[in-house]
Structures are given as C-alpha cells and as structure tokens.
Structure 1
Amino acid sequence: MAVMHPDDFLAMLEALDRGTLRGLRDRAMLSLVFAGGFTGGEVVGLDAGRDQTRDGRGWIEARDRGLQVTLLDRRGLRRVEIARTASDASCPVHAVESWLSFARIARGPLFRRVTGEGRKVGSERLGEREVARLLTRLTTVAGVRMLPRPPS
C-alpha cells in the first residue's frame, strides 16, 4: 500500500467528472480507499448492506455521524468508522451516499460496472483491477507521485 498526502487526494478527486455515474462511483471508491486505508480488494468486496451477496467481503451501514464499514477476513470482523467531514466536496460519506442515490443501489455489491456509455449501472461487482486502473489513471492526470509506505 502506498502513502498519499491529503492534497494529492484532493487533486485526484478534482480530476473526476462529478456529472457522470462513473465519476460518482470513482469518487466514492477513492474516498473510501483514502479515508479508511482500505485496499482495492476490500473496497470492491463491500456490499450496500449486511449479508446481501455470497461473494461479499463486508458491508457498509449508515450511522448518524457517518458510515461504519465492516470487513470480513481470515482473522474475523474488522470495523472502521468513516466520519462526515465539513466539506461535501471531499466527504467520503457524502460521496458514498451520492453514488448509492444516483445509481439507485439498495442491495448487493456497492461498487458495480457502469455501462451504456456511462448511463446504466450493472449488477456485477467491480474487480480489484478496476481500482488499480483508476488509481493509476488519476495519479497520472492529477500529477501525483505515490510514495511507498515506510516500514513499520
């Protein structure tokens, strides 16, 4: 996993198109990766709610102050709280809520393919490679240089 400076995150968000379903989805994915320190595989494995798919590796739940993300892995459950921020433009909770609303997702995989020239949301879950491609594209477009995480 690489380390990203908050200014780089904001530059990457600015490179996304806010007026398309794909842009809303990518903004929500990027926001969760940054806010929760999740891997691409963890983010695309999330469902819109608990126990909704067989291949789901976690889920999100709306809370008063933000989102609770629950991940299932070989060690058990891991819960991460994602708080609302003052600015909707960079708020990960707002990004996820916008994606869910405009994509009309109530059940199943949280992050899905956008098809039909960006006008339709498919039912199938995105793959981990899609997140890697998104990050690669955004780092190039935004001029961001990712630094390797320092050893623990």
Structure 2
Amino acid sequence: MYRHILVTTDGTDIDHAAVHHAAALTRALGARLTLLHIIPDAHRELGSGNDLSVTAEDIEQEWTRVGERALEEGLLDADGTRLTPLQRPARGRDVPHAILEEAGELGADLIVMATHGREGLAHLLLGSVADRVVHDAPVPVLLVRQGTPSRT
C-alpha cells in the first residue's frame, strides 16, 4: 500500500503523536520512514523592513537548532523504527510547499502530520500548514491530533 511515509516535525510537542503513528504504520506495512523538518525562510516569513534587533540569519539558526532537537526527539518517538531524519531549508518557499516539494523529491506516497485541531476564529486567523498541505498534496495526508494514541 504505502512504501515511503514522510512525517513532518516543527519542534512542537504536538508532533510526538504523529511520529508514533507514522512509525506504527511503517512497521505494519514494511515501509520506509522519513522524518522531515523544514527550516522556514526567515526573510520570507518576516518580510522586509522589520525592526527586530536580531537578523533573519539569527532566526534561521535558532530554527535550525529547534529542528535538530525535533529530529532527535523524533528518533526516540519512532520506538526503534528505522527512519531517515532530514532537515531542509525552505529557500524562498513557504513551509507547506517546501514539505510538498520534498515529499515529491523523496517519492513519499503518504504524508503524516500533526495538527492542533483549531476551529473557528483561531483557525481562521492562524491558518494551518496542515490544511495547506492537505489542499495541495498529490498523495494522501494523515492528520494526527495531539494526544491521539497510536495502536501498534
């Protein structure tokens, strides 16, 4: 069914359930698992003309460190399932499209992502990387809400 599963991480606590689910699927299906962290493009995210005392490069370095910790945690969350950890810069792309492009280059046939499950005004104002991936993905996307138990 699925031969290559891609699970994303952004370094937040909600990612743990998604990695557990992806690892369980990987084991059940005998698939490959890739854990992906995208380093947002700070220039794109902040726009020009910000008055911050830190530079976009400083911010990207911090996001890189966050990603490295997230990948380390993902290795633990995978419960011994072999996976390939990858960290890629967005390089002028928004995060959802960077995820989709990486998934295409890797040949992933399923994307697993965590979601906050926000509704109403919070969802409308904050938007959702997961929603944008689901909308544009050419492959199935499995969304896992925080605290969802995986069945292995």
TM-score by length of 1: 0.29
Compare the two structures and name the one with the higher helix fraction: 2
Compare the two structures and name the one with the higher strand fraction: 1
Q: Which has the larger radius of gyration?
A: 2
Which structure exhibits the higher relative contact order, with contacts defined as CA atoms closer than 8 Å and separated by 6 or more residues?
A: 2
